Amino acid sequence: MLSEGTVCIQCSVPAFTGLRMGDSLMAEFGAAASFLRKSDKERMECQTRPFDIKRECYVPDPEVEYVKATITSRDGAKVTAETEFGKTVTVKEDDVHPQNPPKFDKIEDMAMFTFLHEPAVLFNLKERYAAWMIYTYSGLFCVTVNPYKWLPVYDQSVVNAYRGKKRTEAPPHIFSISDNAYQYMLSGQI
């Protein structure tokens, strides 16, 4: 059983009084739920994706900064890899960054990564943004990527869903940060 404040290894989300906050508990967030956390189905699917931790990596790319790749060979300080776009590249060993296992796909708190580096952070933010999950924690900070459109994550039902919850008990959101600050202020901890 997980204790409050720990992270479930299976689904990479904070524990919620011993349980992860699955689809049924996310119902209180209403229409905003899918914009805040992956569904149970998506979490299960990411765990079954084939993955080789020794070969899956990120390599530099002149057009998009970094691309996902699979290492095909190593020769001294050089690594040859095939990118996700089918291009074969040879780069210095120091320019190869390991990918995190699939269970970390779209993780809510990037401080939990096995491998914390620039390409992992960029890809996580990109994947979360592509799913319209614009809020992501990075340790103590809440990172927001502007969606340039209105999302249903700011109505009164969402405010109510975050009210009184600790940061680890709900998905990343500015409401969580502000409610926690308010609760600390009321209790005299600030």
The model's confidence at residue 72, banded by pLDDT at 50, 70 and 90, is very high
> Same structural domain for residues 68 and 147?
no
Helix, strand, coil abundance in the chain, percent, nearest 5: 35, 25, 40
> Same structural domain for residues 108 and 148?
yes
Q: Which residues pair with 144 in a beta bridge?
A: 135
pLDDT at 121 over 90: yes
CA neighbours closer than 13 Å in the CB half-sphere of residue 177: 13
Tell me the pLDDT tens digit for each residue of 53-71.
999 999 999 999 999 999 9
> Same structural domain for residues 94 and 107?
no
For residue 189, how many other CB atoms are within 10 A of its CB?
8
> Same structural domain for residues 140 and 181?
yes
- For 13-117, where are the alpha helices, taking DSSP H only? 23-26, 40-47
> Same structural domain for residues 89 and 164?
no
The CATH number given to whatever domain includes residue 76 is 2.30.30.360
Q: Which domain holds residue 62?
A: 56-98
Tell me the pLDDT tens digit for each residue of 139-177.
999 999 999 999 999 999 999 999 999 988 999 999 999
